[in-house]
Amino acid sequence: MKADVLVVGSGIAGCAAALAAAREGADVLVVTKATEPEDAASDWAQGGIAVTQSAPEEFAADIRRASDDTADPEAVETLVSESRAVVEDVLLDTLEVEFDAVGGGADGTDSTDSTDAADFDLAREAGHSSRRILHVDASTGAHVLRPFLQHLSARDGVRIVDDATALDLLTEEGTVRGATILADGEVEPVFAGATVLATGGIGDCYARSTNPAGATGDGVAMAALAGATVSDMQYVQFHPTAYDPRTDPQADDDAQPFLVSEAVRGEGATLRDADGRRFMPDVHEDAELAPRDVVARAVSRARDRTGRVVLDVSDLDFREEFPDLAALCDDRGVDLDAGIPVAPSEHFLCGGVAVDDRGRTSLSRLFAAGECARTGVHGANRLASTSLLEGLVWGVRAGETAADRGRGDAEAVEYAPPRDSDPALPDAFADTKFDRLGRTMDEFVGIERTPDGLGTARARLRRLKGEVDAYARTRVSRSIYELRNACVSSLLVARAAADAPSAGCHSLVDPDGSEESEESDDAGRGVTPRADD
């Protein structure tokens, strides 16, 4: 197959890249592992999409503050300055997403075609100094991604191949010429004038994650193996409030965790330990609305100290304001009067494949957007409700530039198809290896890390990757390549963490577990002093 632009991934960043490239007249092929919208992390996004209102400098300041002052100023300026225009163009005018409106709701009553604050029921989440978040209840991602996929499916110039796995990038003298694809049990090359990676995050590298299954770091690993620059992999963000069935006495044995949106705290919910004590005011001046990394560390410590943390929703009309979340709680038998048991869970990779303001990587004709890309916007910690926006802004910019670079320029190159000479492995093989991987990452590369723990993690991960590579040399399957990619991504995280000082969501603690200095820093920002302070 050939295409002007090959897009790998079908979340909001991949869809935005495909739309933008098609608008430029490119022939676009979207290849995705997903078979349903809910297979993409964008579909799971709850809170919403932050948009500049009357004070763009305030929005930019919030992003920088949440990042522990490590965000790239030019990237932040790009995100903030383009947020209104791209949201109005793509989400409102093209897709007609019906964000909750003042006096209306998710049915679109009183909705308009602009992002003016007077028209929409704007939410506030942790780290934001004002209300600026467009949302549809607490299920914004699904209301954005599904119409996006429907629009692309009906659009001329865009082909979508689902249930297909990108295996490796095709390169020729430092130039990316497409990728090898596994679909319907067959491997074939896709030659492209330009390739956009939009494969999402690394949730499957951890035992507990808010990501959907299949978030195995594919784009990061493929790019790294092809020689692209990868940056800031140590910055793995943990969401503070994922439902925790392990400490819920009402939970069934098979109860599954789910994300409890930051917007719930934005509306007044509070965090309490097993003794009923509200602990966040003692940690940070913004209490429950402190930056996400600060809250996650505080919740983790409170759970370790008392055995349980709950999100107290008694001061708000939870069922009225968050009906989708209330339904999830009801499905799992959560006693809302007693609070929602929560624990931190891996949530978002702030680093990834290094890109510029147009999504260009260090390899010619290779672009990246969304969670697999390191744009510099998030620095060491992401501000709530900026992931969909980043994917949208950089997806559009990458798609436009990829179309200009790749239109009419897909060339077939020589490639060696992967060997598939040995018998297939049982499903339990990958499951067992992923279990080992998740336990290693949770224990040693989690919310708080020690130098010795990171050394242990690197040794274990190298051994695991060696085992996986030995099997992958003579077998081709989605599971074995996902496992390879997850091992590569995990090693990149552990290596980067071992070489970097604490900042944002990368928190190094003393080998004896001392956290006194960490807590005092949390009162101001939530990080230990950096070497250059």
Query: What is the mean predicted confidence (pLDDT) over 330-345?
Result: 93
* Catalytically annotated residues: 292
Rounded Cα distance between 292 and 289, Å, is 8
pLDDT tens digits, residue range 385-419? 899 999 999 999 999 999 999 888 898 888 888 88
Strands (E), 52-163: 133-134, 158-161
pLDDT at res. 46: 59
**Predicted confidence (pLDDT) at residue 339 exceeds the cutoff of 90:** yes
pLDDT at res. 219: 97
- Least Cα distance to 303 among 413, 208, 178 occurs for 208
pLDDT at res. 68: 93
pLDDT at res. 305: 96
**Predicted confidence (pLDDT) at residue 117 exceeds the cutoff of 80:** no
Share of the chain above pLDDT 90, in %: 68
pLDDT at res. 362: 97
CB atoms within 10 A of CB 225: 14
**Predicted confidence (pLDDT) at residue 153 exceeds the cutoff of 80:** yes
pLDDT tens digits, residue range 268-293? 999 999 999 999 999 999 999 999 99
Of residues 310 and 125, more confidently modeled = 310
pLDDT tens digits, residue range 423-481? 888 888 999 999 999 999 999 999 999 999 999 999 999 999 999 999 999 999 999 99
Lowest mean pLDDT across 119-123, 219-223, 440-444: 119-123
Residue in this structure with the two tokens 């071992």, named with its chain if needed: 498
CB atoms within 10 A of CB 19: 26
Rounded Cα distance between 266 and 315, Å, is 12
Of residues 175 and 119, more confidently modeled = 175
- Least Cα distance to 348 among 381, 300, 303, 306 occurs for 381
Looking at the chain, how many residues does it have?
533
pLDDT at res. 38: 57
Lowest mean pLDDT across 29-43, 112-126, 514-528: 514-528
Of residues 530 and 203, more confidently modeled = 203
Q: Which residues pair with 160 in a beta bridge?
A: 30
User: Residue 79: which pLDDT band, with cuts at 50, 70 and 90?
Assistant: very high
Element at 449 (helix H, strand E): strand 448-449
User: Residue 160: which pLDDT band, with cuts at 50, 70 and 90?
Assistant: very high
pLDDT at res. 348: 95
DSSP helix/strand/coil, 342: strand
**Predicted confidence (pLDDT) at residue 486 exceeds the cutoff of 60:** yes
CB atoms within 10 A of CB 280: 23
**Predicted confidence (pLDDT) at residue 373 exceeds the cutoff of 50:** yes
Contacts for 291 with CB less than 8 Å, ≥ 6 apart: 65, 66, 68, 126, 127, 381, 383, 504, 525, 526
pLDDT at res. 519: 38
Write down all domains in the chain, each with its CATH number in brackets. 239-346 (3.90.700.10), 427-508 (1.20.58.100)
User: Residue 227 carries which side chain, given as an amino acid letter?
Assistant: G
Output the CA–CA distances (angstroms, integers) from residue 36 to 11, 14, 31, 100, in the order listed: 11, 15, 13, 25
Q: Tell me what the pLDDT averaged over the chain comes to.
A: 88
**Predicted confidence (pLDDT) at residue 137 exceeds the cutoff of 80:** no
Do 437 and 205 meet the contact criterion of CB atoms below 8 Å apart? yes
User: Residue 112: which pLDDT band, with cuts at 50, 70 and 90?
Assistant: very low
pLDDT at res. 37: 54
**Predicted confidence (pLDDT) at residue 528 exceeds the cutoff of 70:** no
